[in-house]
Amino acid sequence: MENCVFCKVVHGELPSTKVYEDEHFLAFLDIRPQAPGHTLVIPKEHYRWVWDLPAGRQVSPNLGDYFEVVGTIARALQKAFGVEMVLSKIIGEEVPHAHIWLFPDPAHTQGDKMDFATNAEKIRSSLS
């Protein structure tokens, strides 16, 4: 979509602090974080709502693949920030592109939420 902020991130027209990327999905740090490591997980292809992704395994990307990536990122956040609870939100009002918020429990997460480089490296290191 031409004027979509997240499509511009996908195409490199706007900067982002990436923590994960594959053929179909991208995860990057939110520029207005709720906690250190607040990550947005999006499909690279434009879908307005999360539930607009195809549900069947015959097509890729699909909703199941999306949630597998979300789970991978959530587990990396647990490990990176030493927390059990990772909050998730599917809202979709602020940017008209499917996205899921993931962020460690703000009450139990240490670190500077605006230190994007350090937080991204913690997450990337926890993915392996």
Residue 46 annotated to the active site: no
% pLDDT > 70, the chain: 100
22: amino acid identity, one letter: D
Q: 14: domain range?
A: 5-93+101-126
Query: For position 59, what pLDDT does the model report?
Result: 87
Residue 92 reports pLDDT greater than 80? yes
Averaged pLDDT, 37-49 = 97
How many domains is the chain partitioned into structurally? 1
Catalytic residue among 11, 46, 97, 99: 99
**CATH code for position 78:** 3.30.428.10
Query: For position 1, what pLDDT does the model report?
Result: 72
The pTM (predicted TM-score) of the whole model is 0.96
* 116-126 and 63-81 helices, crossing angle to 10°: 110
